[in-house]
Structure 1
Amino acid sequence: MKIYNLKDLTQQKIKELCSRSIADDNLVKSRTEEIISNVKSNGDTALLSYAQQFDGIALSSLYIGKDELIEIAKQIPAEAKAAIDTAYQNIHKFHSSQVNNEPNVETMTGVVCWREVRAIERVGLYVPGGTAVLPSTFLMLGIPAKIAGCQNIVVCSPPQKDGKVNCYIAYVASLLEIEKVYLVGGAQAIAAMAYGTESISQVYKIFGPGNRYVTEAKKQLQHIAAIDMPAGPSEVLVLADETAIPSYVAADLLAQAEHGIDSQSILVVTSNKTAAAVVNEVEAQLADLPRKDIAAAAIANSYIMMVDDLAQGMEFSNEYAPEHLILATENYEPIIPLIRNAGSVFLGNLTPESAGDYASGTNHTLPTSGFAKAYSGVSVDTFVKKITFQHLSEKGLKNIGNTVETLASAEGLQAHKNAVTIRLQGLAEN
């Protein structure tokens, strides 16, 4: 990992370090455009072709139905089943707390306004399954969708080598009462959900993280179907001081690094001693990881930033706007008010990011690539619309009428003014 000192850097260099751009972004863009065009024109035929090309599978069907999902789910080990059950309960409990009714507001006598929640009827969930299969993502997307009351939930996930889904995905599908899981991955899955095919229903909004192709497809298609957020390669920023435990910090950095070669694991640290100890621990722990080649490539794409104190480190973090922010310090409480941009935050030395990834209850589908400056992670709110209502009584119309007439006249919109005037005249005549 390269080491920088924040006080030695220009603003341009800081901006460059906070950028997640990759050299072949233009190639990803053009390839994604080709895939989208093919799926739009050729539907299921294109999806079957891509399964052969990208997944090495000749599919006889593009989906696994409910009965087969139940059978596959029976293969799940008891320990894994219990872990998924616990995660399900925690995630469901946390997200259920997000369902709240708002009160009616009388803005002036006789003028009542309020909002009501309506679920997005047709949603698409993308569950990655490339170098790692993620039933946890299925939970993170499916649970809030169900709580929100979405009527039609389309689930896409790449096929495994046997042309099926694994028992973990199947078991989550059974928990969520999902009828089908479509065996489609990558940009082609996003295109299929956006446009619809012979087998896959078109959806109104698409959810889920993925690789650069998935992210690019979501960006290119958001004029066709809304998206949850731009969510690309995973990333973590650990802010640490002399009270951090180096072995824990190294484990957190590697946890993100093993997602993919384009992941980033950033250490922002106040102590040279801590930095050196973390580097040693990264090297030691890396050697034992089954995905060490992937993690090593990601670590090479990462860096250490030396800062004078935690407050200065937090300023850098806010500019970077990490998907995951870990405060690896015993003194995290004074830092919390300084956090402006982050997807999800993990406080103290005993709170690993992995807890949020799987089972603490918060959602792990989060904005990456600096989009935490403007986006929130997935929640029940992401799956609903909030529609405003208003009602004017006779007294309300009289109270607000002149205000509306005056403003409409000021804007030169006579018909707007007339819509009020004609009603006031009607009241005066009765």
Structure 2
Amino acid sequence: MSNKSYIKTFASVESAKKNLLQRQRISLVDYKLPKEQQKKNKDIFKKNLTPFQLVSKIIGDVVKDGDNAVKKYCSILDGAELESLLVSETEIEAAFKDVSKSEIDAIQYMSERIRNYHEIQLRNADREFFQNGFGIKVVPIERVGVYMTGSITALPSSIIHTATPAKVAGVGSIYGITPTDPSGKVNPYKLIAARFAGIEKIYKGSGAQAIAAFAFGTESIPQVDKIAGPGNIFVAMAKQQVNGSVGIDALYGPTETLVIADEFTDPQICAADILHAAEHDALAIPVLITTSKETAKAVSSIITKRIDSFARHEIIAQSLQNGGIVIAQDINEAVSLSNLFGPEHLCISTKNASDIIPMIKNAGGIFVGEGTPEVIGDYTGGISHVMPTGGAARFSSPLSIYDFQKIISIANIKELDLAKLGPYASQIAKMEGLDAHANSIDVRLERMQ
């Protein structure tokens, strides 16, 4: 066991601001690959292409060559040789045979929990109205494509947490696209999750070529109206570049968890939350803000003692360096820093944790009290774990049914309304130099006389 501290401690909120609030956001324009990957790409494409340029090339090739381009890039970049891009019913049936009943039951239970929560959300989301000649109607998006992230690593939870809100929102057709292993096989957990989530057809494809296929369509893969789901840097770049031709849910970065604690916090539970947050990948950002120096010291010590017991301890050690432990003077100062940070996940592990909820302005999700682990939200709680990162919680929300619905404005006025509204509208049109606009109103007003 090492005596070193794996996570740095900031003695004040002001010192933490200079570091934590400057967390590096991955640039989707000038991102640089590791040198070995740069060399590999140069060998493949015979020129130096930035990741942004590579993604642009892939998108253009998919638009031009359709299925052949998807297959080509899956072969070149993943070593996956794909005969058909459509996952067959036989492959889905085999997945259910290959996985144990207890694992299938767990995925199904998660699916039911996520669906039930979003059905409650739908019942409380009646936003349609029509009043005084104007109103809105709410309609679901017709076609959604879900990127089913991960090739060797399976993340069935992300599939269910992305597709289920779309299904409940009433989306007409939901399609999935997933990376495969080199043999062209899809992880069975993903196929089972897709079936429970209501994805009607699943296609094989990865990275930028998968996003391009959904954005523009190919011979096999349908064009969709919106693409949802997290992925790697190439997926994020591709979503950014096709945005406008197709809708996207968001651009997701490294995961973040911020814990607010006080002197009443159990250091074992607090350390467990920091360790789990650091386990995702080397870019994850785990942060503890506490009003207690004793809690800070105890949590740091427990992390040092426990870290080597986890299989992904090297990744945990790396990501702990992205965050830190912050000593705040009081809860108000702790909450203020949290609101500035705008974390994806906010865990309130204090006495009377519920009292702090009204003070929170920016967070993807709030997990209240030590009895509510953030991991429950990752899997079986009900809320979607697809949440804003990188401070985007200041202006955006977790994935929900609202992401898969759109509002259409309605105007249906009577003559009396036009007689009242028309003259003012005509005057403003003339002020703006748009005589034809004014005329469109004036001819109606004249016929009413």
TM-score norm. by structure 2 comes to: 0.87
Please give the per-residue CA displacement for 1:182-233, whole angstroms capped at 9, x wherever unaligned. Answer: 2222233223322333332222221111222322222232133221112122
Deviation at 1:308, TM superposition (A): 1.1
The whole-number CA distance in structure 2 between the counterparts of 1:312 and 1:175 is 44
Equivalence for 2:378? 357
Where 1:147 maps in the other structure, the secondary structure is: helix
The answer for unaligned runs of 5 or more in structure 2 is 1-6, 34-48
* 2:25 alignment partner, one of 1, 20, 24: 20
Contact 1:113 1:388 in 2 (8 A): yes
Please give the per-residue CA displacement for 1:15-45, whole angstroms capped at 9, x wherever unaligned. Answer: 42x4434899522592143134124214433
* 2:240 alignment partner, one of 219, 233, 236: 219
Contact 1:66 1:179 in 2 (8 A): no
Contact 2:128 2:137 in 1 (8 A): no
The whole-number CA distance in structure 2 between the counterparts of 1:164 and 1:283 is 39
The whole-number CA distance in structure 2 between the counterparts of 1:344 and 1:8 is 25
Deviation at 1:256, TM superposition (A): 2.2
Structure 1 residue 97 corresponds to structure 2 residue 120: yes
* 1:183 alignment partner, one of 184, 204, 211: 204
Equivalence for 2:8? 2
Structure 1 residue 68 corresponds to structure 2 residue 87: no
Equivalence for 1:59? 82
Deviation at 1:374, TM superposition (A): 1.2
Where 1:63 maps in the other structure, the secondary structure is: coil
40-49 or 274-283, which moves further after superposition?
A: 40-49
Aligned residues: 423
29-38 or 73-82, which moves further after superposition?
A: 29-38
Equivalence for 1:85? 108
Seen in structure 2, the aligned counterparts of structure 1 residues 401 and 8 have a Cα distance that, compared at 3 Å, is closer
Q: Counterpart of 1:20 in structure 2: which amino acid? A: R
Seen in structure 2, the aligned counterparts of structure 1 residues 11 and 250 have a Cα distance that, compared at 3 Å, is closer
Equivalence for 2:393? 372
Equivalence for 2:423? 402
Equivalence for 2:57? 37
The whole-number CA distance in structure 1 between the counterparts of 2:68 and 2:139 is 35
276-285 or 351-360, which moves further after superposition?
A: 276-285
TM-score norm. by structure 1 comes to: 0.91
Equivalence for 1:325? 346
Identity over aligned pairs, percent: 35
Q: Counterpart of 2:224 in structure 1: which amino acid? A: V
Where 1:363 maps in the other structure, the secondary structure is: coil
Please give the per-residue CA displacement for 1:339-384, whole angstroms capped at 9, x wherever unaligned. Answer: 1111111011111111111111111111111111111111111011
Contact 1:39 1:47 in 2 (8 A): no
Deviation at 1:97, TM superposition (A): 2.5
Where 1:392 maps in the other structure, the secondary structure is: coil
Where 2:356 maps in the other structure, the secondary structure is: helix
Q: Counterpart of 1:167 in structure 2: which amino acid? A: P
Where 1:278 maps in the other structure, the secondary structure is: helix
Deviation at 1:327, TM superposition (A): 0.8
How do residues 3-402 of structure 1 correspond to structure 2 at under 5 angstroms?
A: 3-9=9-15, 13=19, 15-16=21-22, 18-21=23-26, 26-27=31-32, 30-41=50-61, 42-99=65-122, 100-107=125-132, 112-130=133-151, 132-160=153-181, 162-402=183-423
Deviation at 1:175, TM superposition (A): 2.0
The answer for unaligned runs of 5 or more in structure 1 is none
Deviation at 1:74, TM superposition (A): 2.9
